[in-house]
Amino acid sequence: MKVKLFWLIFSLLIFSLVYSDNSKYAGEFLRIPVGARALGMGGAFIAIANDGSSFYYNPAGVAISEDGLLSFMYSSHFGGIADPLASFFHFGFIKSVQKVGFALNWVRLSVDNIPNTPDFTNIETPIDRENLVKNYNGGSFFSDVEDAFYFSFSREFKFNINFGWSRYKVPVSLPVGINFKLVNQKLGFEKGTGFGFDAGVMFRFSMDDFLQRGNMGDVSISLVLKDIGKTRISWSTRREHFVESTLMFGISYTLPVNFINSKITFAYGSQNSYLTDKLYGIEYGYRDLLFVRFGKNIENLTIGAGLKVDFFIVDYVFLLHDLGPVHRVSGSLIIDKILKKL
């Protein structure tokens, strides 16, 4: 009954969005976090963004990610890994040419076997609507498939800053990047398409240089604006929805723990659109080989782990949700390292 009720409510929400003028939650699948490593840190990855999920958290990070990085991810939402209510995929590639980082990424959210329910939204009494949903026996089914293709361009600029009160200059790194994205949604017989872009910047420096002391760690401060000017999605029903712009801020601090060959990264992030989310994360890495992560995203706690062996990286995260557990597995292959071994 719980699953049945979920599907009925889900289908009503979808139709109320597509056939209404309220586009507050338009393109909501674009806000689903990408990458098991990032989500293991509660999504507080805006100031880190140096792996295959960099395009999502901060396109500037494409320039500082591994060159020739092929990334993939699978996520089961609200159910078991083999039989989820919804599935989320990601596939992408990063390559650097003439000091410019390029990335191509594809994300897809798919939901199958959604009951095609009558429109109960005109029923005035909430109790009557609830009874109609509970007693509905079902009928035909439809699917919801939502795709987004990201084309990212990024470059890292390096220079020195004289802070004035000191006689020394501090080397800093300033990666900047931009996403162009194509959105394609199919809900039953209805189709929606849209085009938008994001921009991001990072400000990175070493505390060793800033304080003139060793083993003080590294700092990164980032700012991202997603869906600049709002991303318009045009439906075959001749209606238009607009994805609200999102402002994201992040800061991270990585501290080396040399006596056990480890690093600890603390991260904070916030994102503001129609909601304001606070994101917190921590990652412990041993010899750049084994990783353990914890995070907090809105009201949910996350826990994750990772393994990096030469050219192969795999990450896993578990998120407990009211509608059921969410399992996410992502992996990467560093193609350039593989080619060098051949």
pTM beyond 0.85: the answer is no
More confident residue, 325 or 207: 207
Residue 72 sits in a domain whose CATH number is 2.40.160.40
pLDDT of residue 78: 61
Position 123 pLDDT exceeds 70: no
pLDDT of residue 324: 65
pLDDT of residue 128: 67
How would residue 111 be classed by pLDDT, with cut points 50, 70 and 90? confident
**Which is nearest to 306 in space by CA: 29, 84, 59, 45?**
45
pLDDT digits (tens, 9 = 90+) for 4-53: 444 444 444 444 444 444 556 677 888 888 999 999 999 999 999 999 99
Separation between Cα atoms, residue 295 and residue 147, nearest integer Å: 27
Separation between Cα atoms, residue 23 and residue 55, nearest integer Å: 24
pLDDT of residue 7: 42
pLDDT of residue 13: 45
3-state secondary structure of 55: helix
Handedness of CA 87, 94, 233, 43 (dihedral sign): positive
Q: Domains in the chain: how many in total?
A: 1
Would you state the structure tokens that stand for residue 271, as one six-digit string? 């994102």
Half-sphere exposure of 330 (CA within 13 A, CB side): 29
pLDDT of residue 265: 98
pLDDT of residue 5: 40
pLDDT of residue 20: 46
How confident is the model over 234-239, as a mean pLDDT?
Answer: 85
pLDDT digits (tens, 9 = 90+) for 246-287: 999 999 999 999 989 999 999 999 998 766 789 999 999 999
The mean-pLDDT minimum among 147-151, 208-212, 250-254 falls in 208-212
Range of the domain at 210: 2-341
Position 56 pLDDT exceeds 60: yes
More confident residue, 341 or 109: 109
Residue 302 near residue 294, CB atoms below 8 Å: yes
One-letter amino acid for residue 287 of the chain: R
pLDDT digits (tens, 9 = 90+) for 70-106: 999 987 766 555 566 778 889 999 999 988 999 999 9
How confident is the model over 198-226, as a mean pLDDT?
Answer: 93
